């Protein structure tokens, strides 16, 4: 199915669909968002995603849902790159 994705680094299932969320191996489940692939901050939605319902409405819904997950991932990334001096006053470090 997603043969063009082989070699991109995202983990695929045995049929070539992109694994996301709990389907991703090798990472703590809490660390992977439900539409996130095995590559951090790389997301998959719609027909190409393993276990997705192959319907237009499902693909559109996942497209809407992934926006919040992207915001969440970017916020976490931004927080992890905060210079020490810009953290909330009173924090331990
Ligand atoms: C014959 C048929 C009938 C269907 N009938 C229905 C129906 O009645 N009702 C229903 O709900 N669903 C139906 N479906 C399913 C529905 O079409 C899909 O679930 C839906 O289109 C999935 O949307 P998507 O955006 O995930 O993928 P797609 O609509 O397949 O969009 C993926 C896009 O990515 C492009 N692309 C692929 N590779 C690359 C690349 N390397 N670089 C750039 N672009 C790339 C493709 O050209 C395509 O435009 C039908 C599917 C088929 C095949």
Model's pTM, two decimal places? 0.86
CA distances from 27 to 12, 30, 52 (A): 15, 8, 21
> Tens digit of pLDDT for each residue in 39-57?
999 999 999 999 999 999 9
Distance 83 CA to ligand 1 centre (A): 43
Distance 2 CA to ligand 1 centre (A): 12
Question: Domain coordinates of the chain in residue numbers?
Answer: 3-81
Q: Which residues lie closer than 8 Å to 59 by C-beta, 6 or more apart?
A: 45, 46, 47, 52
Give percent above pLDDT 90 in the chain: 62
Q: Which atom of ligand 1 is the closest one to the Cα of 46? A: 26
Nearest CA, atom 39, ligand 1: 4
> Tens digit of pLDDT for each residue in 6-29?
788 899 999 999 999 988 887 666
């Amino acid at each position: 199915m997603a043969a063009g994705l082989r070699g991109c680094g995202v983990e695929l299932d045995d049929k070539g669909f992109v694994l996301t969320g709990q389907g991703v191996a090798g990472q703590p489940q809490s660390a992977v968002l439900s539409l996130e692939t095995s590559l951090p901050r790389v997301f998959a939605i719609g027909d190409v995603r393993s276990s997705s319902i192959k319907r237009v409405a499902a693909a559109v819904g996942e497209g809407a849902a992934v926006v919040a997950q992207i915001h969440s991932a970017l916020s976490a990334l931004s927080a992890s790159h905060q210079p020490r001096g810009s953290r909330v006053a009173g924090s331990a470090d």
